[in-house]
Amino acid sequence: MPNKKIEELPGKTVERLSQYRRLLFNSVELGKTNIYSHELARMMNLTPVQVRRDLMLIGYSGSQSKGYVIKDLISLIGKIIDSDTGQRIAIMGMGNLGRAITSYFTGKREKLSIVAAFDNDPQKYDRIIAGVPCYHINKLKEVVQKENIGIAILTVAPQATHEATKLMLEAGVKGILNYTSVPVSVPEGVFLEEYDIITSLEKLAFLVKK
């Protein structure tokens, strides 16, 4: 029996679904058509029961003899985590990190695309960088609305973080992924993810030193 509501999927499960799909794309390329929970589990450093529980939550059933059908699973995960019409993304701050992310990301997912970048440096705006048009921030609201952008990635200089957040919120984005070292707040109804490499390194350093 699938979850009461798909919207109530645990956050951790959503993250793993994304990662399962990433692996499943690879498996398809290698010519595999079916996969067992223990195979997925080993590749992701999880237990097989964790994998089966996640798939149970999205209402997917495998077969005892063949495991899961990879292409069906990919397609079901897509139904759950992708937006039907696709989700359009902007990069705020086309510096080293912004450029690295943009060139890494472009073309990786059918339903997610980085369609605009913003910067206040004349070396950056009014050009196409890493395949994406970069605009001056005074065009932000206009472009975000015209391009129907729902998610912003913040890679501006730290001191510009709050201004950048304010502009993006005013323009109406509903999700922010913040890579600056300055935490931001968002109002009700907007979603926020923060990531800082220093936190990951300090956590590792703590674990290593124990």
Ligand X SMILES: NC(=O)c1ccc[n+]([C@@H]2O[C@H](COP(=O)([O-])OP(=O)(O)OC[C@H]3O[C@@H](n4cnc5c(N)ncnc54)[C@H](O)[C@@H]3O)[C@@H](O)[C@H]2O)c1
Partner DNA sequence: TTATTATTGTGAAATAAATTACAACTTACA
Partner DNA sequence: TGTAAGTTGTAATTTATTTCACAATAATAA
Compute the distance between CA of residue 139 and CA of residue 176 in angstroms, rounded to an integer.
19
Rule CB under 6 A: say whether 97 interacts with ligand X: yes
Report, in Å, the least distance between residue 103 CB and DNA. Answer: 31
CA distance readout (Å), 90 to 85, 102, 171:
16, 10, 11
Size of the site for DNA (CB under 7 A): 25
Report, in Å, the least distance between residue 165 CB and a copy of itself. Answer: 12
Contacts of residue 161, Cβ cutoff 8 Å, sequence gap at least 6: 154, 178, 180, 182, 184
Rule CB under 6 A: say whether 74 interacts with ligand X: no
Which one of ligand X, DNA, a copy of itself, none is in contact with 136 (Cβ closer than 5 to 8 A by kind)? none
Compute the distance between CA of residue 68 and CA of residue 10 in angstroms, rounded to an integer.
21
Residue numbers 127-166 binding ligand X by CB under 6 A: 137, 155-158, 160, 163-164
Positive or negative: CA dihedral 178, 183, 187, 188: positive
Report, in Å, the least distance between residue 189 CB and a copy of itself. Answer: 10
Rule CB under 7 A: say whether 47 interacts with DNA: yes
Give contact residues for DNA (rule: CB under 7 A): 1, 10-13, 36-38, 46-50, 52-53, 55-56, 60-65, 67-68
